[in-house]
Amino acid sequence: MRNAMIFAAGLGTRLRPYTDDRPKAMVEVDGLPMIAHQLLRLRAAGFTRVVINVHHYAEQIIHYVNTHQGFGLDIAFSDESGQLLDTGGGIRKALPLFNTHSPILIHNVDIFSNADLAALYAHHLDGGADASLLVSQRHTSRYLIFDGADRLVAWKNIQSGEVRTAHEGLQATLEGLTEDNSSYRLRAFAGIHIISPTLFPLLHQQTDVFSITNFYWQHAPQHHICGIEAPHDFRWVDAGKPEALAKAAEIANVER
């Protein structure tokens, strides 16, 4: 069984006024709500069990998915209407809703790409990593830093120079890193990742609200958290802003 989770609990503040009366997941792209696009992609990639976390206008998402019979998937909802739990807390709360010990593919509802989700999941299984993060050379202000073996070592904000790492002795070296060198490379996170059951006990040890990105770099020294480089023809957009919806529609139209 292939497990997946869709992050759909955000407030969608960047998408106002579209999200004044609906959740981000129900904003339409190419004639379909975002949540429909992601569920159809996951179904096509062979995923069967999907958990959707909900908060803002949660009832709209639940009603829409149930009205469409879950798009042929085994759907469960992780209710965060009482409190937003951030990305790590969201995964932690949803874990009991998965009925196998298989890895979970995590996908932001507002990420549109041509990533091969089935191939990504297979790559993770073959590699034996504790977590695999889809990354690319896209320009951004916040990067994940990987070593020569594609293992995560740090997070960095290029604009402020802030570096977060749990690897002793690397802070000064990475603070001066602004581009790839022979030892380290900076990559943009695509908002698509896979987490294995080996990390579930550590998730349960966290507080209710925490970032999964922080969780990854904090546990990187002791666990195999790797980056999977997107191919050269990779197309990607964060559709969390009104000006990005047209590009998202272009990608969605090609993928459908």
pLDDT at 17: 87
Low-confidence ranges of the chain (pLDDT < 70): 254-256
The continuous run of DSSP H or E covering 92 comes out as helix 86-94
- pLDDT tens digits, 155-182: 999 989 899 999 988 888 898 888 888 8
DSSP state letter for 211: -
- Report the domain count for the chain: 1
**pTM score:** 0.93
CATH classification of the domain holding 78: 3.90.550.10
Kindly give, in sequence order, each residue whose CB lies less than 8 Å from that of residue 196, ignoring residues fewer than 6 positions away.
103, 124, 129, 130, 131
Q: Within 13 Å, how many C-alpha atoms sit on residue 114's CB side? A: 12
Amino acid identity of 198? Answer: T
pLDDT at 103: 97
pLDDT at 180: 80
Q: Within 13 Å, how many C-alpha atoms sit on residue 75's CB side? A: 26
Contact 30, 235 (CB under 8 A): no
Please state, as a whole number, how many other Cβ atoms lie within 10 Å of the Cβ of residue 206: 17
Task: Give the residue numbers spanning the domain of 120.
Answer: 3-255
